[in-house]
Structure 1
């Protein structure tokens, strides 16, 4: 089994990158939307640092995924897909990449320009500052982070909706080729032997 992408499906490395990033972004979204309601206790600052650390992790994973895609190629379009759908899908993919990169960078820039102490990536090492304290940069970064999130939500919903549309209505392999290949299953109660097979009949009992 090859780890690279093939002409008809995404390989296991691309699939792992895709679903891991999806899960991390989902967690970031849930925490980001509820974090402001938490009381300012030590737990709040732990959650806040974990949120920033996870965002940097997503940034690294997306860069690694883009590098892997350049190396491993990408599958050919699903046969029968109209050209306009291919173009929209291509634009949507690159916009998703851009926004997934923008979100952690804008959050990191906001943290840097706010004049806070450098945060430690999961408590292991300090992250460098992208900017000295600056209110203008801080406000611009916060605006990008907040609006970028909602644009990302819209694009993710459109991307997922298109995948389900292809799966349930066009019944093609668009969604399946981003899922692990299933092994063929043998039914336990399969049909009996077909007509013409050489089977012995039970002896006649008078």
Structure 2
């Protein structure tokens, strides 16, 4: 088994990064929406601290994923995919990367501009990337929210395209991002029975 990506599918390292990031974005998005509606309390503070720590973890994971992608390459487009779909898929991927970087960075910026310390799971402090500034804090907060909804919209488009290819085009676009053990290729005998 190769850890790197092959010409026809994403390797296990890329798959692990992909699904970890999906789970983190969904979890952080849910927590982010809940915590902003909470009344001020110690629980709200703890939730914010957890959200920030996971945001920094996401930033590290996305960086590692991008470095791995540059090292391990990418699969070739699925055979028969029109050129315009390849271009949209490529733009969507790079847009998702940009948003996955921008989200935690704007969170870091708004935290810095608010004058709050930034600790990663209570283990160590990270430096502020801006001085305390109310106007910058408000701007970064608006940008963070806008980027979140843009990320969700683009992720839904990305997932929708994968399911469209799987259900209607019946190609390997979705399955090549899934572990092989989750897939069971039918034997020729099963194929003939299904065709009958």
Which structure shows the bigger proportion of residues in helix conformation? 2
2:10 corresponds in structure 1 to 10
The SS at the match of 1:107 is helix
1:175 corresponds in structure 2 to 174
Q: Distance in 1 between matches of 2:13 and 2:56?
A: 20
Indicate how the Cα distance of structure 1 residues 184 and 85 shifts in structure 2: closer, same or farther if over 3 A, else same. Answer: closer
**Runs of 4 or more above 6 Å deviation:** none
Aligned length: 188
Please identify the structure whose Cα radius of gyration is greater. Answer: 1
Gaps of 5+ in 1: 192-206
User: What TM-score results when the alignment is normalised by the length of structure 1?
Assistant: 0.87
Q: Distance in 2 between matches of 1:129 and 1:60?
A: 17
Gaps of 5+ in 2: 191-196
Q: How does 1:1-206 map to 2 (within 5 A)?
A: 1-116=1-116, 118-182=117-181
Query: What is the alpha-carbon root mean square deviation over aligned residues?
Result: 1.7
Moved more, 130-139 or 86-95: 130-139
Q: Distance in 1 between matches of 2:161 and 2:79?
A: 16
Q: Distance in 1 between matches of 2:114 and 2:130?
A: 9
The SS at the match of 1:126 is strand
The SS at the match of 2:77 is coil
2:193 corresponds in structure 1 to none
Q: Distance in 2 between matches of 1:51 and 1:75?
A: 33
Moved more, 71-80 or 128-137: 128-137
Indicate how the Cα distance of structure 1 residues 79 and 24 shifts in structure 2: closer, same or farther if over 3 A, else same. Answer: same
